[in-house]
Amino acid sequence: MRVALLWVSCFLSLNGIFGQQQQMYTQFMYNKMALNPAYAGNETYLSGTLMYRDQWNGFPGAPKAQLLSVNLPRLGKRIGLGLNFERQSIGITEKITYELMYAYKFLLGEGTLSMGMNVSGRNYIQDYTDERLFAIQGITMDPAIPQTIQSRNLFNAGFGVYFNTNKFYFGGTIPRMIRADIDFDTNQLFSTEVRHLLLMTGGTFIINNNVRATPQLLFKAAENSPWGLDLNFSLTYKDQYTAGLTYRTGGTRGDLGESIDLIFGVQLSERLMFGFAYDISLSKLRTVSNGSLEAIISYNLIPRKIKTIIVNPRYF
């Protein structure tokens, strides 16, 4: 029964992966530039962010992702630039992405409206020499399995908008606008990068001098894939310690959703922030997985000359 459930879970998971190709992070609120190019240059100083995600821990060949984001200081008052470097792996497949973001900003009322674009390159790798591959009659006897490492490079581009005030933000992006061919056989066109639509919003409400509450939402939609929601609510104490809870929709028929996610963050200093998330699966994968783990470290290179007393703090 356990083996049968494992195969069913694999099938259902692959069914969802068919359309949902964009890497998702539980702690998206700490690194919005990973999803939306319009966030680039949102600050006047240099910041760097490292993220690591181990999805479906304990499941052989489960997805893993590592991300480095570099948000460059804003040029003048208008131009933002940023860089993303990401590695994803699932089974014998590896994908390495490198992106350049450009954003142009306008003052709009009490907030700032940014319009951005990204250009990206990706290297897809299929390692058919992986020792984990298994065939009943032997891999060498199956002509459909090449005994090589295959690689393919491709290009894409995306667009995004982002608006924020001191205590509210809203953003939308289509990170991949081109249906780039990801088939390793150049004579066929069965597999392409699909277009995604991502919408995010959130706001902060002051409860008292020490505590503020922040509800946030991330909407995800992709071609040939069900849409999904991340609904997050967090509390921050003295602008230093944050605890949050996220409900993620999804799963299969009969499931209560995809997961419940616990998020903890601490501002270790004015420059250094650390966050951790643990996703508790609500789908049938919970019988073969220990949940998903995610960690983030962010460092802000804030010049001493702009370290001033903040009368009206900006959270977004």
35 pLDDT tier (thresholds 50, 70, 90): very high
The burial class, CB within 10 Å (0-12 / 13-18 / 19+), for 210 is exposed
Q: What percent of the chain has pLDDT over 70?
A: 88
- d(CA 115, CA 37) in angstroms, rounded, equals 8
- Which structure tokens are listed for 159? 């667009």
168 pLDDT tier (thresholds 50, 70, 90): very high
Strands 149-164 and 79-90: unpaired
- d(CA 53, CA 121) in angstroms, rounded, equals 21
pLDDT at 195 over 50: yes
Query: Which amino acid, 204?
Result: T
- d(CA 39, CA 70) in angstroms, rounded, equals 12
97 pLDDT tier (thresholds 50, 70, 90): very high
Quickly count: other Cβ atoms within 10 Å of residue 245's Cβ. 13
Identify the pLDDT of residue 307.
55
Q: Where are the domains of the chain?
A: 2-306
Quickly count: other Cβ atoms within 10 Å of residue 5's Cβ. 13
The burial class, CB within 10 Å (0-12 / 13-18 / 19+), for 51 is buried
Identify the pLDDT of residue 159.
96
Strands 93-108 and 79-90: antiparallel
Q: Select, from the ranges 82-96, 118-132, 245-259, the one with the highest average predicted confidence (pLDDT).
A: 82-96
Q: What percent of the chain has pLDDT over 90?
A: 59
Q: What is the pTM of this model?
A: 0.85
- d(CA 181, CA 174) in angstroms, rounded, equals 18
- Which structure tokens are listed for 19? 């359309």
Identify the pLDDT of residue 293.
94
Q: Between these two residues, 118 and 13, which has the higher pLDDT value?
A: 118
CATH of domain 2-306: 2.40.160.40
- Which structure tokens are listed for 85? 């470097």
Chain segment 265-281, per-residue pLDDT in tens: 999 998 999 999 999 99
Largest CA distance in the chain: 71
> Which residues on adjacent β-strands are paired with residue 168?
203
Sequence length of the chain is 316
Identify the pLDDT of residue 241.
97
pLDDT at 135 over 90: no
Q: Between these two residues, 227 and 262, which has the higher pLDDT value?
A: 262
Identify the pLDDT of residue 2.
38
Helix H or strand E segment including 227: strand 225-237
Q: What is the mean pLDDT of the chain?
A: 86
Of 149, 108, 167, the C-alpha closest to 316 is: 167
Instruction: Outline where the chain has alpha helix (H).
Output: 2-17
Q: Select, from the ranges 175-179, 190-194, 234-238, the one with the highest average predicted confidence (pLDDT).
A: 234-238
6 pLDDT tier (thresholds 50, 70, 90): very low
- Of the candidate ranges 122-136, 189-203, 224-238, the one whose mean pLDDT is the lowest: 122-136
Q: How far is CA 80 from CA 31, 39, 244, 299, in A?
A: 15, 8, 29, 18
Q: Phi and psi (nearest 5°) for 141?
A: -85, -10
